[in-house]
């Protein structure tokens, strides 16, 4: 196991990828080396959170999205909005709820001047938790949408 971990760390170092997304995954491919992905992560809040069983954007979420909008207006890049849910509910229900959350973020971005063609969405439902645990603190961190830069200028 120790050798496997060492090999993974070496591969990451050789790839030049030192960035982790807010959901704990590595940026991959072009995003890993993209100065735009790094700049976006450094200058915006890439994650917004939702109430239980809701896809309604809160005032705090809209404020975070406003920083994304300002950045996206300065850089002609594409983005993917990823929708997530907590562990409660069926797989199918959570995929649909994650999609509604991602679409709510996309619609807010579009309504505020970002071209719809620049924003795509995907739902991961409950399949990729940011925090493991079966309590409100963990669930609150997993009810989210994450914006990821997908293509450089």
- Asked if residue 12 belongs to a domain, the reply is no
Per-residue pLDDT of the chain (153 residues; tens, 9 = 90+): 444 334 333 333 333 343 444 444 444 444 443 788 888 888 899 999 999 999 999 999 999 999 999 999 999 899 999 999 999 999 999 999 999 999 999 999 999 999 999 999 999 999 999 999 999 999 999 999 999 998 644
Angle, helix 59-74 to helix 35-43, in steps of 10 degrees: 140
- Asked if residue 21 belongs to a domain, the reply is no
Task: Round to whole Å and give the CA distance between 91 and 110.
Answer: 28
- Asked if residue 137 belongs to a domain, the reply is yes
Query: What per-residue confidence (pLDDT) applies to 37?
Result: 85
Beta carbons within 8 Å of 6's beta carbon, 6+ residues apart: none
Residue 52: CATH number of its domain: 3.30.1330.60
Which residue range forms the structural domain that includes residue 126?
26-151
Q: Please give the structure tokens belonging to residue 101.
A: 């959350």
Task: Quote the DSSP letter at residue 138.
Answer: H
- Asked if residue 11 belongs to a domain, the reply is no
Which helix (H) or strand (E) is 64 found in, with range? helix 59-74
Number of domains observed in the structure of the chain: 1
Sheet of 78-84, strand order: 47-49, 144-151, 78-84, 119-125
pTM over the 0.95 mark: no
- Asked if residue 93 belongs to a domain, the reply is yes
Radius of gyration of the chain (CA): 16
């Amino acid at each position: 196991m120790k050798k496997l971990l060492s090999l993974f760390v070496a591969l990451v170092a050789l790839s030049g990828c030192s960035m982790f997304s807010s959901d704990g995954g590595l940026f991959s491919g072009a995003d890993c080396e993209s100065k735009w992905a790094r700049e976006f992560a450094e200058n915006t809040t890439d994650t917004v959170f939702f109430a239980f069983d809701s896809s309604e954007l809160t005032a705090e979420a809209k404020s975070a999205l406003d920083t994304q909008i300002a950045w996206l207006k300065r850089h002609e890049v594409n983005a993917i909005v990823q929708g997530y849910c907590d562990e409660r509910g069926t797989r199918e229900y959570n995929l649909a709820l994650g999609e509604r959350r991602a679409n709510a973020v996309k619609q807010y971005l579009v309504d505020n001047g970002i071209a719809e063609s620049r924003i795509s969405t995907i739902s991961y439902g409950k399949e990729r938790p940011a925090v493991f645990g079966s309590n409100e603190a963990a669930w609150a961190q997993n009810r989210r949408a994450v914006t990821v830069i997908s293509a450089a200028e």
